[in-house]
Amino acid sequence: MIRTALAMSGLGGLVVAFFAVFGGMALVTGTGVIIESGLRSSITDQRLTGADVLVSAPQSHWEPESLPIGLPERAVVPAKLIDDLTALPGVATATGDVTFPTALLSAAPGTTRAGATGETSGTRAAGGAPDTTSAARTGRGTLETGEHGAKTVNGASDATLAAAASTSAAQTGEHGAKAVTGPSASAAPTAKVVGGTGHGWASVALVRGAKVIGSAPRAADEVAVSAAHAVRRGTDVEVVAAGKRAVYRVTAIVDTPGAPALWFADRTAAELAGRTGGPRAGTVDLIGLRAAPGTGPGALAEAVERRLGDDYVVSTGSAKGDAESPGTAAARSMLIALPTSIGGISLLIVGFVVGGGISLSITRQRRELALLRAAGATPRQVRGLVAVQGMTAALAALLPGAAAGYALAGWFGELLVHLGMLPERMPLSYSPLPAVAAALLLLGVVRVSAWATSLPASRMPAVSAVRESAAEPRTPSSVRYRSGLLLIGASLLLATPPLYIRGEIAVVGPGTAALVSVIGLALAGPRLVQGATGLLARRLPAHVPAPLWLAVSNTRGYALRTAGAIAALGMAVTLTTSISLSHTTVMRATDEETAEILKADAVVTAPAYGGIPDGLMDDVRRLPGVTAAVATSTTTILTSPFGDGGLQAQPAAVLGPDAGAVVDLGVTGGSLADLKGAAVAVDDRSGDVGDRRTLVLGDGAEVKARVVATYSRVLGLGPVVLSRDLVAGHTTTGLDSTVLVRGDAPLDRLTGHWPGLGIAADSDSPQAGRTSSQLWINVAVLGVLLGYVLVSVANRLVATTAARGPELTAIKRLGATPRQLTAMIRWEALLIALTASLAGLAMSAVPLVLLGIGFLGRPWPAGPLWLVPAAVAVVCVVVWLAFDLTARRLIRRA
Amino acid sequence: MNHVVTLTGVTKRYGELTALDDVSLGFPRGRFVAVMGPSGSGKSTLIQCAAALDLPTSGSVVIGGVDVGTLNETKRTILRREHIGFVFQSYNLLPAISVEENLTLSLRLAGKRPDRPWITELVERVGLQDHLRRRPAELSGGQQQRAAIVRALAARPDVIFADEPTGALDLRSASQVLDLLRSLVDDLGQTVVMVTHDPAAAARAHDALVMADGRLVDVLPEPTADDLAARLTGLAKRPAFGGAQ
């Protein structure tokens, strides 16, 4: 049976199926690796290596019946837990840890020394403010930077920070550790600044193998520095810690591997981190536990979990890295969210291509299958035979496909790191699981499509089977045609949201519309091709060259054969144009609106300091020529963009009441000057002044806020703007990220006192950075998908063309010269390529036109419009190569 | 000379196999000639060479005064278009186009305007006037073969070669096709050369050539089916029979 099956199939059809499965396997496995990494990967590098168990607040927001959403802002733990945990049997020590951004300036030009409070206290003593809100999740933002400076963990679903154009460059110091020299460092060539993290002295005990030379910092103006900072004991250093600039005396050098860090007296650290008062009083970022002798980390973790319940995350081993870096969960959410947005498209394409490949290899054998039926094979046997063929091709492709998939995932991971969407130290996790899942999925697709294609062939009465198989052209079914038209119609509806929704979500509509219409095209294709070429044939002048006439007739007569290729190529064109151009359109609209919103002439950022340090604002305002300066930052909030309660992480701008001087949101109600206390401004289509909103902030805290202003320009800063008071205590660093400056001022002068500043002439919106990295991801994924589609279409075309030997011989015998045959094949290629391009462009035209109207006020999308001719050219070249090279041999032999 | 096509010393080898062995003959104008012989006797090869569909290994084929061997592929095709019509056992109608379009396909390829009255006359003669809009697959085998004959005649060729034109047909359809071919010769003065292995079919011709082992072994004028059957049976018993005309 198997031997018969393989002998019959002929190589051509199987090769097509093999490549389809190979590519599909690679795509699905690759996607699987990304998803699995989203579920299981953890950050490698750890600072608190000496802790057996870490206790932290959850960095994910859980909604019923949906995936957890990663929270990029640090959620904190009440410090009183330290006492509870110390009392737990099996715990040797329990130490609270806080993290905040620090920057060590190389020269100390003599500023005030930190006020000496003289008091030293353990973390246990940190503050007395009781944990006011019950849920641990309402924990208040704490400071943490460097590690994965919020920038590096922003993602498709949750961008965090990222403001000025220059920030992206300056913030690439992955560990916040590199000497960051701002664009204008030349103004003060001697001044250097080295970013790092700051902690309380007690947490040194949690660093394994830390060698301490010197004595612990006890006074408020004392500090211990890691050896990486390369300063001597006893010297005075100028430090900006959590935005506060002061001079400290180095009392100890701590020799530890890892990023540069500073340790302050515990009381000082708590003060700097804002734990001695305000919204985060009496909290720590995490609690590190060391097990008593005789207790294993696992047993200890279990005991802690029993004691604390589900409100806290208890980590051991490699999971401790996640607890240290609050952005990890957000990055993981992004890893899961990415494939779910593009996975739909790639699964569709894989199904398309694999199904097409299998059906092609079966259609090629219709005659043989019919003969088998005539020779006494039951329909079931015929289907079995077809299944064996498909499975053989698929099985052979599984292993190489899986290998390619792992390589693809690795490459994609590098791209994500490069785009700053994935922490560099968070490697993808590789296990056989994605390959196994992909294999099962693909074998399923192969089985189903083999079954579906062979059903009619296997069922027809044996005699008519032989007869029908002799005459290849068949009439496409009308049910198929109508459902195809229905889908195309539905896609038009889906394309309309940009007309009445403003904001990024509107893009989802056109994207889906393109997908749906592509499926519709595949279904309605044969009839449409028949109709179009029939019309063409009737309209052709009577005396067109015979080859052209034959080409048109063939395309019409073999509509089923040609429509498959046309639909696949049309799909390639549609996806290319609609996905790319809808993103560029939104980007253009966002840029234009951002330019209207931000009246800033320059933008100042301070990546090396972890945010805008205290005093910088005043320095900016004091510069001659500055008419206004406004500090802003970006955090993440969870909103329900579709109003259906399903939450999504979204970046949101943070502004103070002074914002109006530089920011013009197109306020339609209320005033930005009221952005005080628990206040927000919202898109005027989504609410009115006076409304009350409940929001989930970036650390998971649920807060209530009053709408004090509504505005119309929603693309630049997003649909919600938060007041600074509202987010205070709910962000990791607690610092603003950007100063927007109005007026022509000598900003370079700032770098003398503040080395390492980022100063840029123009500003980008926070949404822009997000859109462009999404664009790059889309481009990368599209590239891979298109490669797959094009290779498999070329394969199919080669296989169908190669099977046309007898037809070409027949035409030649009727008096066609070789030149005429070649011309006919070329006309056919041109016809298919143009029809596919036209169909593809038509499918993407409506969504793009509507998007253009909705976003740009004109009926065409933003460029690069050369994508359109480029896509057409690629399609033409692929078809021409597949046809011409294959047919050339046939014509010579005919 | 009054020969439409003349073969001189034509030999055709496929590797070791000699399909035609030094055959010389001419097809006279206005006659219905049947070429007979057992399987493998070289009869199909003979008319493929005579119709310039294939080139002999040695010897010459002259069509319309032109030696086919001196022409390249394209020129041979053009020569064929002008002088020769071919009818295949498997009809060779293109399934993608209508019957009517099939009839004029060769003319279209030659870049000639179809002679409408002539084609209409032929169509009526073979009784296909109601089927012109259909696809070939919607016709019976006999109808398809008659359409193929009209196509072969459309360009008014000097000679029509028919390779087992009744091979795939039932008796009734076969008889109609043979009647048609004979009437073309008798009524219109057309020259027809038909390959067949069926003595009854060959008996409808003016002359029957008998082939064996790549050689012409006999010419039977006004043959009867019985004569031919006997001749063929004899050949089957004596495969080594030699000696040309």
Tens of pLDDT, residue by residue over B160-177, are 999 988 887 888 888 888
pLDDT band at A375 (very low <50, low <70, confident <90, very high): confident
Task: Check B96 against A558: CB less than 8 A apart.
Answer: yes
Q: Is B78 on the interface with A (CB under 8 A)?
A: yes
Of B53, B77, B97, the CB nearest to A816: B77
Mutate to test the interface with B, among A474, A556, A814 (most CBs of B within 10 A): A814
Residue A318 has pLDDT above 80, yes or no: no
Task: Check A814 against B101: CB less than 8 A apart.
Answer: no
How far CA A364 is from CA of A292, A355, A361, B84, in Å, comes to 73, 14, 5, 34
Segment A378-387 mean pLDDT: 80
Distance from CA of A812 to the nearest CA of B (A): 8
**Opening angle at CA A416, ends A411 and A569, nearest 5:** 65
- The three-class DSSP label of residue A381 is helix
Of B73, B94, B110, the CB nearest to A815: B110
Number of A/B CB contacts below 8 angstroms equals 65
Of A810, A819, A820, the CB nearest to B94: A810
Tokens of A866: 């050369």
Residues of B in contact with A545 (CB under 8 A): 111
Task: Check B86 against A813: CB less than 8 A apart.
Answer: yes
Tokens 């439409």: give the residue.
B4
pLDDT band at A407 (very low <50, low <70, confident <90, very high): very high
Tokens of A537: 């044939």
pLDDT band at A403 (very low <50, low <70, confident <90, very high): very high
Distance from CA of B236 to the nearest CA of A (A): 31
pLDDT in tens, B132-155: 888 888 888 889 988 998 998 888
Percentage helix, strand, coil for chain A under 3-state DSSP, each rounded to 5:
55, 15, 30
Task: Check A546 against B108: CB less than 8 A apart.
Answer: yes
Instruction: Report the residue count for chain A.
Output: 894
Predicted confidence at residue A3, as pLDDT, reads 59
User: Which chain A residue has the Cα nearest residue B110?
Assistant: A815
Eight-state DSSP code of residue A67: P
Mean pLDDT of chain B: 86
Predicted confidence at residue A762, as pLDDT, reads 63
Predicted confidence at residue B12, as pLDDT, reads 92
- CA–CA gap between residue A90 and residue B106 (Å, rounded): 97
Predicted confidence at residue A165, as pLDDT, reads 30
Segment A497-522 mean pLDDT: 77
Residues of B in contact with A470 (CB under 8 A): 137
Predicted confidence at residue A877, as pLDDT, reads 92
Of A556, A558, A813, the CB nearest to B92: A813
Residue pair A273/A98 in contact (Cβ under 8 Å)? The answer is yes
Predicted confidence at residue A268, as pLDDT, reads 92
Q: How many CA atoms lie within 13 A of A280 on its CB side?
A: 30
Percentage helix, strand, coil for chain B under 3-state DSSP, each rounded to 5:
40, 25, 35
Segment A837-842 mean pLDDT: 90
User: Cβ–Cβ contacts within 10 Å for residue A618, how many?
Assistant: 9
Lowest model confidence (mean pLDDT) among A40-49, A197-206, A832-841 = A40-49
Tokens of A512: 């889906």
How far CA A85 is from CA of A300, A306, A677, in Å, comes to 11, 11, 36
What is the bridge-based pairing of β-strands A286-291 and A283-284?
unpaired
Residues of A in contact with B109 (CB under 8 A): 546, 811, 814-817, 820
Segment A473-492 mean pLDDT: 81
Q: How far apart are the first and last CA of chain B?
A: 19
Residue closest to A843 by CA, chosen among A341, A439, A494, A464? A494
Task: Check B81 against A818: CB less than 8 A apart.
Answer: no
Residue pair A630/A661 in contact (Cβ under 8 Å)? The answer is yes
User: Pick the residue with more confidence: A767 or A391?
Assistant: A391
User: Which chain B residue has the Cα nearest residue A474?
Assistant: B96
Q: Identify residues of A whose CB sits under 8 angstroms from chain B CBs.
A: 470-473, 545-546, 549-550, 553-554, 556-558, 807, 810-820
pLDDT band at A467 (very low <50, low <70, confident <90, very high): low
User: Pick the residue with more confidence: A488 or A514?
Assistant: A488
Distance from CA of B109 to the nearest CA of A (A): 5
- What ipTM goes with this model? 0.84
Helices (H) and strands (E) in chain A, counts: 24, 25
- H-run or E-run covering B25: strand B17-28
Who contacts A119 (Cβ-Cβ below 8 Å, separation ≥6)? A220, A267
- CA–CA gap between residue B231 and residue B235 (Å, rounded): 6
Q: Give burial (CB, 10 Å; 0-12/13-18/19+) of A585.
A: buried
Q: How far apart are the first and last CA of chain A?
A: 34
Task: Check A813 against B95: CB less than 8 A apart.
Answer: no
pLDDT in tens, B104-122: 888 888 888 888 898 998 8
Predicted confidence at residue B50, as pLDDT, reads 92
User: Pick the residue with more confidence: B90 or A707?
Assistant: A707
Task: Check B96 against A546: CB less than 8 A apart.
Answer: no
Who contacts A832 (Cβ-Cβ below 8 Å, separation ≥6)? A555, A562, A565, A566, A569, A879
Task: Check B92 against A554: CB less than 8 A apart.
Answer: no
pLDDT band at A812 (very low <50, low <70, confident <90, very high): confident
Residue A178 has pLDDT above 50, yes or no: no
φ, ψ at A654 (rounded to 5°): -115, 125
Segment A310-336 mean pLDDT: 80
Of B74, B88, B108, the CB nearest to A818: B74
Of B81, B95, B151, the CB nearest to A473: B95
Who contacts B219 (Cβ-Cβ below 8 Å, separation ≥6)? B207, B208, B209, B210, B245
pLDDT band at A187 (very low <50, low <70, confident <90, very high): very low
Residue B11 has pLDDT above 90, yes or no: yes
Eight-state DSSP code of residue A693: E
Task: Check B151 against A814: CB less than 8 A apart.
Answer: yes
Residues of A in contact with B94 (CB under 8 A): 553, 557, 807, 810-811
Q: DSSP secondary structure string, A386-426?
A: HHHHHHHHHHHHHHHHHHHHHHHHHHHHHHHHHTTSS-TT-
Distance from CA of B137 to the nearest CA of A (A): 6
Of B109, B136, B137, the CB nearest to A816: B109
Residue pair A766/A778 in contact (Cβ under 8 Å)? The answer is no
- CA–CA gap between residue A734 and residue A539 (Å, rounded): 72
- CA–CA gap between residue A760 and residue A406 (Å, rounded): 40
* Strand stretches in A79-189, DSSP E: 91-97, 100-105
User: Which chain A residue has the Cα nearest residue B109?
Assistant: A546
Q: Is B82 on the interface with A (CB under 8 A)?
A: no
Residues of A in contact with B95 (CB under 8 A): 471-473, 557
Eight-state DSSP code of residue B192: E
Predicted confidence at residue A4, as pLDDT, reads 59
How far CA A300 is from CA of A297, A308, A625, in Å, comes to 5, 12, 61
pLDDT band at A251 (very low <50, low <70, confident <90, very high): very high
Lowest model confidence (mean pLDDT) among A169-173, A365-369, A543-547, B211-215 = A169-173
Segment A449-461 mean pLDDT: 73
Lowest model confidence (mean pLDDT) among A103-107, A261-265, A329-333, B230-234 = A329-333
Distance from CA of A798 to the nearest CA of B (A): 20
Residue closest to A880 by CA, chosen among A470, A569, A493, A452? A569
From chain B residues 165-204, the ones with a CB under 8 A of any chain A CB are none
Tokens 């305007």: give the residue.
B113
pLDDT band at A151 (very low <50, low <70, confident <90, very high): very low
Distance from CA of B5 to the nearest CA of A (A): 18
**Opening angle at CA A140, ends A139 and A145, nearest 5:** 115
Predicted confidence at residue A44, as pLDDT, reads 65
Residue pair A383/A391 in contact (Cβ under 8 Å)? The answer is no
Residue B28 has pLDDT above 50, yes or no: yes
Of B81, B97, B136, the CB nearest to A815: B81
Segment A67-73 mean pLDDT: 80
pLDDT in tens, A570-616: 888 888 888 888 888 888 888 888 888 888 888 888 888 888 999 89
Distance from CA of A546 to the nearest CA of B (A): 5
User: Cβ–Cβ contacts within 10 Å for residue B72, how many?
Assistant: 9
Predicted confidence at residue A580, as pLDDT, reads 83
Residue pair A239/A223 in contact (Cβ under 8 Å)? The answer is yes
Mutate to test the interface with A, among B75, B80, B108 (most CBs of A within 10 A): B108
Tokens of A882: 């597949």
Lowest model confidence (mean pLDDT) among A355-369, A385-399, A422-436, A756-770 = A756-770
User: Which chain B residue has the Cα nearest residue A560?
Assistant: B96
Predicted confidence at residue A823, as pLDDT, reads 92
Mutate to test the interface with A, among B76, B77, B150, B160 (most CBs of A within 10 A): B77
Segment A185-210 mean pLDDT: 76
User: Cβ–Cβ contacts within 10 Å for residue A293, how many?
Assistant: 6
pLDDT band at A6 (very low <50, low <70, confident <90, very high): low
- For the entire predicted model, the pTM comes to 0.73
pLDDT in tens, A97-120: 999 999 998 754 444 445 443 333
